[in-house]
Amino acid sequence: MGAPGRERTGTGQVVQRHSFGADGHRPIGSLALLAYLEGSCPTTQPGRQRGEAFGGQRRIDGHAAQITRLQSVVVKTDSTAIDNHQAQRPTAESRYAEELAVLAALEGPRPPGWRLTPRAVVDFICGTGTGDAVAVEPKFVGDRRLVERCVVTLAGSRGLLLVGEPGTAKSMLSELLAAAVSGTSELTVQGSAGTTEDQLRYGWNYGMLLASGPSEQALVPSPVMTAMRTGQVVRIEEITRCLPEIQDAIVPLLSERRLAVPELGAFSVEAAPGFCVIGTANLRDKGVSEMSAALKRRFSFEAVDPIPDRDLEIDLVTRQTSDALIAAGLPDSVDGPLVDALVTVMRDLRRGVTDEGWAVERPSTVMSTAETVAISQSLALSAAFFPPADATAGAASLLPGHLLGAVRKDDDKDAARLQAYWDATVRRRAGENGDGNDQSGRDDAHLWRRMWDHRGDLQE
């Protein structure tokens, strides 16, 4: 179709031409449609009566017209319908639909409203052993006992609050819990300074409100109200970013399990069995305001810590880097030694001490596993799309520059801390002592030497 513009018909009348809208429909200009309804639109084909230029069969009674055939009025494109499985990031319930279906068939006691048994929920998130009847891949790399405590909290219909440093998979864990318990993770409120009370409670269809006043039909339910009605899990992300008056609206939801609508008199929505609230909050970033004591008391707090095991973190970063390469249509060729070195650097900076026991000045920026994954994916994609000039160094030559961008995002002084880490730790691992001889005794000293040779990228 052509771009929007004006063109003349065979009779010389100027009409408006439209392109497709964002919703995939071809809109009809209001003037052209009005002309059609009033029977004044010019005929485009011999034998047609006035008003049939759009291909609709007209029935006129006075000034009223009814269009009974709209095939040529509204054109629907096929490209607007995106299957959830083809989305950049499908929901957990879509991505793992087969596993959830198998686990749902397992026998065992389950709380009212739950899709899976509590044990099946834990198995879905943490995976199963090789000897189990159902083989499930782990999705959350962390303490299984932490997940068990989370499931027990939800089974008791108590609010669950996941806290921790940024990038420790709190949101992912809440999504997996919601998908396993309720079958959907999409009932979510994203907390921010702009979050309003109607996003937690309810809103109104103002057209119906003005036409007939407050009514149950005019209510626009929030994700929280929908979860209460259906007995499902609702997720409230970044609670501490909400203003105090918004946080206060959560308290009666957790204590009374009822959402009153005073505009409708005594009408209220009571929580159905299975309703639970999962919240998340960052410890490093306190957000807009602290939680009140009343709100804290109604949540069970669970701290999600960084992955303690180095090998598990390497495995996670490798898998996610592989996924990024495949999604970009590239060969699945992850540089294992480079991932190993990257994870080592990030763990050193995160903990403030190396595996050798050398002290490291910690940057103010959080060196999370999520940040490690992002850097690893960027390195892999950069090496594939823009091969480095130093072919012998490979993607290792790109590591200092990518690390610098991640480290100094909060404080420019962190660049000096990373430089100090390079001058001390990386230099020692590279075996660099000034005479060009390898004194490290490490099997991967050549990789660390490549990183050391490109230390100039840290001075940008």
Distance CA 88, CA 169 (A): 18
73 and 103 in one domain?
no
Residue 268's pLDDT is 93
Return the bridge partners of 300, or none: 160
What's the first-to-final CA gap in the chain, in angstroms?
Answer: 48
For the segment 190-213, what is each residue's pLDDT rounded down to a tens digit?
999 899 999 999 999 999 999 999
73 and 133 in one domain?
no
Q: Is residue 87 included in any domain, yes or no?
A: no
420 and 314 in one domain?
yes
Contact 215, 120 (CB under 8 A): no
Where does a domain end: 303, 319, 341? 303
Asked if the model's pLDDT at residue 29 lies above 50, the reply is no
190 and 331 in one domain?
no
3-state helix, strand, coil in the chain (%, to 5): 45, 15, 45
316 and 232 in one domain?
no
Residue 83's pLDDT is 56
Distance CA 457, CA 64 (A): 73
Residues 6+ apart with CB under 8 A from 374: 406
For the segment 234-273, what is each residue's pLDDT rounded down to a tens digit?
999 999 999 999 999 999 999 999 999 999 999 999 999 9
Report if pTM > 0.85.
no
Q: Is residue 88 included in any domain, yes or no?
A: no
102 and 57 in one domain?
no
Q: Is residue 47 included in any domain, yes or no?
A: yes
For the segment 397-410, what is each residue's pLDDT rounded down to a tens digit?
899 999 998 898 88
For the segment 154-198, what is each residue's pLDDT rounded down to a tens digit?
999 999 999 999 999 999 999 999 999 999 999 999 999 899 999
- Coil vs helix vs strand at 203: strand
Where does a domain end: 303, 334, 349? 303
47 and 153 in one domain?
no
Distance CA 373, CA 342 (A): 10
Asked if the model's pLDDT at residue 107 lies above 70, the reply is yes
Beta strand spans in 49-174 (E): 58-61, 64-67, 159-164
Asked if the model's pLDDT at residue 150 lies above 90, the reply is yes
Residues 6+ apart with CB under 8 A from 27: 18, 21
Beta strand spans in 57-206 (E): 58-61, 64-67, 159-164, 188-190, 202-204
Number of folded domains that form the chain = 3
Q: Is residue 85 included in any domain, yes or no?
A: no
Q: What H or E segment, with its residue span, contains residue 221?
A: strand 219-221
The β-bridge relationship of strands 219-221 and 202-204 is antiparallel
18 and 48 in one domain?
yes
Structural domain harbouring 73? 1-80
Asked if the model's pLDDT at residue 232 lies above 90, the reply is yes
Residue 441's pLDDT is 56
Contact 205, 220 (CB under 8 A): yes
Find how far residue 160's CA is from the centre of its chain: 19
- Check residue 76 and report its DSSP letter: B
Q: Is residue 86 included in any domain, yes or no?
A: no
The β-bridge relationship of strands 188-190 and 233-237 is parallel
Distances in Å between the Cα of 295 and the Cα atoms of 98, 103, 246, 248, 298 are 37, 34, 11, 7, 5
Residue 125's pLDDT is 97
52 and 159 in one domain?
no
Asked if the model's pLDDT at residue 386 lies above 80, the reply is yes
Contact 84, 91 (CB under 8 A): yes
Residue 391's pLDDT is 67
333 and 288 in one domain?
no
pLDDT-derived band at 111, boundaries 50, 70, 90: very high
For the segment 42-74, what is each residue's pLDDT rounded down to a tens digit?
444 444 444 443 344 343 343 333 333 333 333
- Check residue 74 and report its DSSP letter: S
Asked if the model's pLDDT at residue 13 lies above 60, the reply is no
Q: Is residue 369 included in any domain, yes or no?
A: yes
For the segment 273-332, what is each residue's pLDDT rounded down to a tens digit?
999 999 999 887 666 678 899 999 999 999 999 999 999 999 999 999 999 999 999 999
Where does a domain end: 80, 104, 134? 80
Angle at 127 between CA 124 and CA 128, to 5 degrees: 110
Q: What H or E segment, with its residue span, contains residue 234?
A: strand 233-237
341 and 281 in one domain?
no
pLDDT-derived band at 84, boundaries 50, 70, 90: low
Asked if the model's pLDDT at residue 40 lies above 50, the reply is no
291 and 350 in one domain?
no
Q: Is residue 54 included in any domain, yes or no?
A: yes
- Mean of all residue pLDDT scores within the chain: 82
Question: What CATH number corresponds to the domain at position 209?
Answer: 3.40.50.300
Nearest CA-CA partner of 224 in 150, 278, 171, 173: 278
Asked if the model's pLDDT at residue 220 lies above 90, the reply is yes
